[in-house]
Amino acid sequence: MARAKQKESAGGRAQDAIALLKADHRQVEEWFEQFEKARDSDRKQKLATQICNALKVHTTIEEEIFYPAFLEATDDTDLHHEAVVEHNGAKKLIAEIEGSSPDDDYFDAKVTVLSEMIKHHVKEEEQRDGLFSKARDSDMDLDALGEQLAARKAELEGDEEDVEGTPPGGGRKSRGEEGRLMKGR
C-alpha cells in the first residue's frame, strides 16, 4: 500500500510521510553537492540559504508532527531522542551559517560539516531498523501524516516567503507597489 501511494505521488497526489521526508533529504543532498562544486560567492550564499531554510522547515515538521507520532506508535525513545539531539546540533550550525557569509574564513567548512551531519542523520533515519523502517512497521497512518506534514511544510515555506520575498510570479506586490497603493488611499 505504501509503495502504491509513493507511485501515486509522482502523478501529483499526496505523498505518505516517509516519501515526503525522503524527498526533502534528496533535495538537500543535491544542494549540498552543488555547493561543493560552486566557486562563486553569490552562488554559495544562495545555496547555503536554500539549504538552511529547507533544513529548518524539515526539522520543524519532523519535530512537531512525525517524531511525536513515531514515539507514540513505537515507544522507541532511543531513536527518537537521538534524532532530536542530532537536529539540535544541526540547528546550532545552521544559525552560525546564517550569521556568516562566503567572505568568512569558516563559511565553507561550516557548510561542509553541516552536510556531513545531515548525511549521518539521513542514513540513520533511512537505514534498515532506522526510524523510517520502524515507522513503516508500526501502526502509524503514514498517509494522514504525509498530509499533515505537507500542510505544515507549505505553511512554514509561506512564512519564509513573507520574510525573504516571493519567488517570481508569486503574485505579491513589491514594496514599491504597496507604497503606491497605500498612498492612493
For residue 47, give every residue at least 6 positions away whose Cβ sits within 8 Å of its Cβ, in sequence order, or none. 31, 34, 35, 38
Helical H runs in 38-171? 41-61, 67-74, 77-98, 107-126, 131-137, 142-164
The grid coordinates listed for 162 are: 513573507
Percent of the chain whose predicted confidence (pLDDT) is above 70? 79
9-50 tens-digit pLDDT: 444 567 899 999 999 999 999 999 999 999 999 999 999 999
93-137 tens-digit pLDDT: 999 999 999 999 999 999 999 999 999 999 999 999 999 999 999
Q: What is the pTM of this model?
A: 0.79
Does 67 score more than 60 pLDDT?
yes
